[in-house]
Amino acid sequence: MKHARIAWSGAIQQAVASDGQLLITQGPHKGQRVNMGEVVWLPPLAPVAQARTVIALGLNYADHAKELAFKAPEEPLAFMKGEASLIGHQAFTHRPAGVAYMHYECELAVVIGRTARRVKKADAYDFIAGYSVANDYAIRDYLENWYRPNLRVKNRDTCTPIGPWLVDAADVPNPMALQLQTTVNGQVTQSGTTADMIFDVPTLIEYFSSFMTLNPGDVILTGTPDGIVNVKPGDVVVTEIEGIGALTNTLVKA
């Protein structure tokens, strides 16, 4: 099932995809159908009791590492992001004035469904609630270290669109065999497959849970394949993953 979180009728609503519309699933509007063009899309992540942890991977596709002239890492290269960087489908991302190079990154987002601590690789899928599409923008002007980007490169307000859907894990039989694609103004600029991840999803969950607790609602952004290009205000960027959804985002001046 495809879950969405939207703003509609003066409130935040939970909904699911149903015959080309959104079906409200909670609250006083439960059961009402809404056209997708009538809502404001929010990150499809339910509120959590504790602060949400967002972990992002660098250089997790060999072709992307090669594109940047780096050797493939021997262990996951991770950095943290704040939840304030997350925005929804059809939202606007600000490109700071004066920067020379800002690029998208189409990524499979893994959402944790139950508390994970010292999880074995063979059991990792049991701890996943679902999957979404993320676009993890980076601003190269501020880059000091490709291996672990500093805050101004990645952890910026509006620079991590995610959505439109959170797709139940049970509806994604093999997350390690999904096609990824990015278009800029309708032109394909990035194409790849999750099969090319250096560290697959079970490996990442085993690795992170070996030294930190992953809580329900936490998110792992799993990296991007090659094919990044500079994007500018006015560009419409669509990051799409097979079976998960197509996430639309527009660049504007900061």
Q: List, for residues 177-219, the tens digit of each pLDDT value.
A: 999 999 999 999 999 999 999 999 999 999 999 999 999 999 9
Q: Are residues 54 and 157 in the same domain?
A: yes
Q: Are residues 78 and 190 in the same domain?
A: yes
Q: Are residues 128 and 146 in the same domain?
A: yes
Comparison of pLDDT for 174 and 27, the residue scoring more? 174
Render the chain in DSSP notation, one character per residue: -EEEEEEETTEEEEEEEETTEEEE-SSTTTT-EE-GGGSEEE-S----SSPPPEEEEES-BHHHHHHTT-PPPSS-EEEEE-GGGEE-TT-EEEEPTT-S-EE--EEEEEEE-S-BSS--GGGGGGGEEEEEEEE--EEGGG-S-SSS--HHHH--TT-EEEEEEEEEGGG-S-TTS-EEEEEETTEEEEEEEGGGBSS-HHHHHHHHHTTS-B-TT-EEE----S---B--TT-EEEEEETTTEEEEEEEEE-
Distance CA(77)–CA(90), nearest Å, equals: 29
Q: Are residues 17 and 80 in the same domain?
A: no
Q: Are residues 92 and 12 in the same domain?
A: no
197 in Cβ contact with 205 (< 8 Å): no
Band (pLDDT 50/70/90 cuts) for residue 149 is low
Band (pLDDT 50/70/90 cuts) for residue 148 is low
Sign of CA dihedral 169, 170, 171, 177: positive
Question: What is the pLDDT at residue 59?
Answer: 85
Question: What is the pLDDT at residue 145?
Answer: 64
Show the tokens assigned to 68: 């940047």
Place of tokens 């606007």: 92
Residue 66 pLDDT > 70, yes or no? no
Residue 90 pLDDT > 80, yes or no? yes
Least-confidence region, from 114-118, 148-152, 154-158, 161-165:
148-152
Question: What is the pLDDT at residue 70?
Answer: 65
Question: What is the pLDDT at residue 23?
Answer: 98
Range of the domain at 25: 1-41
Show the tokens assigned to 216: 């329900």
Place of tokens 């994604």: 172
State how many domains the chain has. 2
Band (pLDDT 50/70/90 cuts) for residue 39 is very high
Residue 147 pLDDT > 60, yes or no? no
Q: Are residues 134 and 17 in the same domain?
A: no
Which CATH number covers residue 11? Answer: 2.30.30.370
Q: What is the mean predicted confidence (pLDDT) over 66-84?
A: 81
Q: Are residues 24 and 81 in the same domain?
A: no
Q: Are residues 11 and 105 in the same domain?
A: no
Q: Are residues 36 and 60 in the same domain?
A: no
Band (pLDDT 50/70/90 cuts) for residue 73 is confident
Residue 5 pLDDT > 60, yes or no? yes
Render 148-213 in DSSP notation, one character per residue: S--HHHH--TT-EEEEEEEEEGGG-S-TTS-EEEEEETTEEEEEEEGGGBSS-HHHHHHHHHTTS-
Which CATH number covers residue 192? Answer: 3.90.850.10
Comparison of pLDDT for 49 and 115, the residue scoring more? 115
Q: Are residues 5 and 67 in the same domain?
A: no
Q: What is the mean predicted confidence (pLDDT) over 64-87?
A: 81
Q: Are residues 116 and 28 in the same domain?
A: no
Instruction: Look up the pTM and report it.
Output: 0.95
**pLDDT by residue (tens digit) across 237-250?**
999 999 999 999 99
Mean pLDDT across the chain: 93
Q: Are residues 136 and 89 in the same domain?
A: yes
246 in Cβ contact with 90 (< 8 Å): no
Band (pLDDT 50/70/90 cuts) for residue 146 is low
**How many beta carbons lie within 10 A of that of residue 28, not counting itself?**
9
Q: What is the mean predicted confidence (pLDDT) over 222-227?
A: 94
